[in-house]
């Protein structure tokens, strides 16, 4: 069926980079990276996260994009097309990716909802304060209000759906290309402000001076899960974007750029946040609320702080939009190309499903506060099940697929643009990692982290 559908695609090389980066950079950098780094002891966690990104994230990202471009299909179709033995159900990896997309979007859309709400709160000015109690109770009041939480989340979902209805090239490429550079500039400005705060040395020491006493198997699994989440891996997102890549795009060079730029944004967020945490007496381990309570305190310190705060949350909304667009693209393209639905119908169905499933995350701090499964509320459970189980599992299977099923010749041919690029050493090294190192490493970290051996 996919052959008969005219596929969209990214039209320029910069557009490819911007859209891929737009998927990677998101609330993962601004919200998840600082809160996990804070909760897991700082620099030791950061070091393991960096290692996981390099040794596991990068090869898996290259694998996904290469597979997607070679097959030019949705994630399920890609695995079906590239698999020589049609009897084995490799397509299930694509289906698991769709499940992961729904779980992540359910809680992610709620965090995006907080960010959107904060743009308006910043305009009102009520959250701008260096008093920890003021910023903490403002955030607490927002998440404890079921009506506000739900309406903001549904508003966000409708907004993203509207962009997707505009189509791949015009919607995703057009919007991310314009907005990504603004994001970098605003974060740089924020760092400059934070570096003038009194306890800047404590903040930077927390972020960059490792203390390995807090590292456990669970912490290592969390760091690896963050590496997958950050680079949008293990669930078919990068595979789908790979299917829109041009045939002459240099995949290894693009992925390295995306990885470095993504790390850079996370570092900037860390440098903007941790000096403030120590200066104003917040707990680095505050978790999901960290960004929402520290950032207003930083801005309260400087002239024009209110305007800058509006800019910051607007910037976070931009980053979140690019990431959500890429996540939604997975179920939408599967429904469109596998089940023959129109893109519009597929988008509307996805949004409707997310409004239902996502509400369990929106109501986690209010109506459904006492509803728990496996000892976790729905927000934490969806986060845990996706980042620490489904994405790493997807990563193992994709690495094994390339390393043992699709094979060296196919992989190298695709990655060298049919021989046009002379990158045999790079493709050989990536193939080696995918065949032997990544699957084993992910498996060990996962089983140990989950306490299974
Ligand atoms: N990489 C995004 C972020 O860090 O915010 C989140 C994300 C996007 C995860 C797309 C997974 C995905 F498929």
Three-class SS of residue 41?
coil
Range of the domain at 417: 13-449
Is there an atom of ligand 1 within 6 Å of 327 CB? yes
Residue 307 in domain: yes
Residue 30 in domain: yes
- The contacts of residue 372 (CB under 8 Å, 6+ apart) are none
pLDDT at 5: 52
CA distance 69 to 239: 8
Is there an atom of ligand 1 within 6 Å of 23 CB? yes
Is there an atom of ligand 1 within 6 Å of 277 CB? no
Residue 304 in domain: yes
Tell which one of 327, 329, 386 to mutate to probe ligand 1, the residue whose CB is within 8 A of the most ligand atoms: 327
Q: What is the pTM assigned to this prediction?
A: 0.94
Comparing CA positions, the residue from 238, 182, 187, 207 lying closest to residue 30 is: 187
CATH at residue 445: 1.20.1740.10
pLDDT at 372: 92
Residue 26 in domain: yes
256 CA to centre of ligand 1 in angstroms: 17
Comparing CA positions, the residue from 446, 450, 379 lying closest to residue 32 is: 379
24 CA to centre of ligand 1 in angstroms: 5
The CB-side HSE value for 387 (13 A sphere, CA atoms) comes to 27
According to DSSP H, which parts of 72-173 are helical? Answer: 75-82, 91-124, 132-143, 146-165
Q: Which two tokens stand for residue 312?
A: 């910051």
Tell which one of 26, 31, 334 to mutate to probe ligand 1, the residue whose CB is within 8 A of the most ligand atoms: 26
What atom of ligand 1 comes closest to residue 235's alpha carbon? 13
- The contacts of residue 58 (CB under 8 Å, 6+ apart) are 255, 256, 259, 430
For the chain, 453 residues long, give each residue's pLDDT as a single digit of tens: 334 455 767 777 777 888 898 899 999 999 999 999 999 999 999 999 999 999 999 999 999 999 999 999 999 999 999 998 877 899 999 999 999 999 999 999 999 999 999 999 999 988 998 888 999 999 999 999 999 999 999 999 999 888 878 765 566 666 666 776 777 887 888 898 889 999 999 999 999 999 889 899 999 999 999 999 999 999 999 999 999 899 999 999 999 999 999 999 999 999 999 999 999 999 999 888 999 998 898 888 788 889 888 988 987 888 898 899 889 989 999 999 999 999 899 999 999 999 999 999 999 999 998 999 999 999 999 999 999 999 999 999 999 999 999 999 999 999 999 999 999 999 999 999 999 999 999 999 999 999 887
Residue 2 in domain: no
Please check whether residue 93 is in contact with residue 79, taking contact to mean a CB–CB distance below 8 angstroms: yes
What atom of ligand 1 comes closest to residue 229's alpha carbon? 9
Three-class SS of residue 337?
helix
Q: Whose CA is nearest to atom 12 of ligand 1?
A: 232
Is there an atom of ligand 1 within 6 Å of 104 CB? yes
CA distance 90 to 71: 14
pLDDT at 2: 39
Comparing CA positions, the residue from 83, 141, 77, 78 lying closest to residue 114 is: 141
Residue 111 in domain: yes
Q: Which two tokens stand for residue 202?
A: 């404590």
Please state the domain count of the chain: 1
Comparing CA positions, the residue from 244, 245, 237, 233 lying closest to residue 331 is: 237
Is there an atom of ligand 1 within 6 Å of 172 CB? no
306 CA to centre of ligand 1 in angstroms: 29
Residue 7 in domain: no
pLDDT at 4: 42
What atom of ligand 1 comes closest to residue 231's alpha carbon? 1
Residue 5 in domain: no
């Amino acid at each position: 069926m996919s052959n008969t559908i005219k596929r969209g695609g990214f039209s320029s090389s910069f557009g490819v980079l911007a859209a891929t980066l737009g998927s990677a950079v998101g609330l993962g950098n601004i919200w998840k990276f600082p809160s996990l780094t804070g909760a897991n002891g700082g620099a030791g966690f950061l070091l393991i996260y960096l290692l996981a990104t390099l040794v596991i994230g990068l090869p898996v990202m290259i694998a996904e994009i290469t597979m997607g471009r070679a097959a030019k299909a949705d994630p399920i179709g890609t695995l079906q097309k590239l698999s020589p033995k049609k009897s084995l159900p490799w397509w299930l990896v694509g289906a698991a990716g769709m499940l992961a997309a729904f779980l992540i979007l359910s809680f992610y859309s709620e965090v995006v909802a907080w960010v959107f709400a904060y743009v308006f709160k910043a305009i009102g000015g009520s959250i701008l304060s260096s008093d920890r109690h003021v910023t903490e109770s403002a955030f607490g009041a927002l998440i404890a209000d079921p009506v506000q939480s739900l309406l903001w989340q549904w508003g966000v979902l409708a907004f993203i759906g509207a962009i997707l209805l505009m189509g791949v090239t015009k919607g995703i490429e057009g919007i991310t290309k314009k907005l990504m550079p603004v994001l970098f500039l605003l974060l740089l400005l924020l760092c400059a402000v934070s570096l003038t705060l009194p306890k800047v040395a404590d903040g930077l020491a927390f972020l960059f001076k490792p203390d390995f006493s807090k590292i456990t198997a669970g912490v290592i699994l969390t760091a690896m899960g963050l590496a997958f989440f950050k680079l949008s891996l293990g669930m078919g997102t990068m595979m789908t974007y790979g299917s829109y890549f041009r045939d002459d795009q240099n995949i290894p060079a693009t992925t390295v750029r995306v990885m470095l730029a993504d790390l850079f944004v996370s570092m900037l967020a860390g440098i903007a946040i941790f000096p403030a945490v120590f200066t104003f007496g917040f707990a680095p381990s505050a978790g999901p609320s960290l960004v929402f309570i520290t950032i207003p305190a930083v801005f309260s310190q400087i002239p024009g702080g209110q305007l800058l705060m509006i800019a910051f949350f607007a910037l976070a909304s931009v980053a979140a939009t690019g990431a959500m667009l890429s996540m939604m693209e997975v179920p939408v393209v599967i429904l469109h190309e596998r089940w023959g639905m129109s893109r519009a119908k597929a988008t509307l169905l996805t949004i409707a499903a997310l409004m239902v499933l996502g509400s369990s995350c929106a109501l986690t701090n209010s109506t459904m506060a006492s509803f728990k499964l496996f000892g976790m509320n729905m927000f934490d459970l969806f986060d845990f099940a996706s980042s620490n189980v489904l994405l790493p599992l997807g990563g193992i299977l994709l690495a094994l697929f390339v390393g043992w099923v699709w094979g060296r010749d196919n992989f190298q041919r695709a990655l060298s643009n049919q021989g046009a690029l002379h990158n045999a050493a790079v493709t050989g090294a990536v193939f080696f990692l995918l065949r032997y190192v990544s699957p084993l490493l992910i498996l060990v970290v996962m089983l140990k982290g989950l306490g299974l051996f």
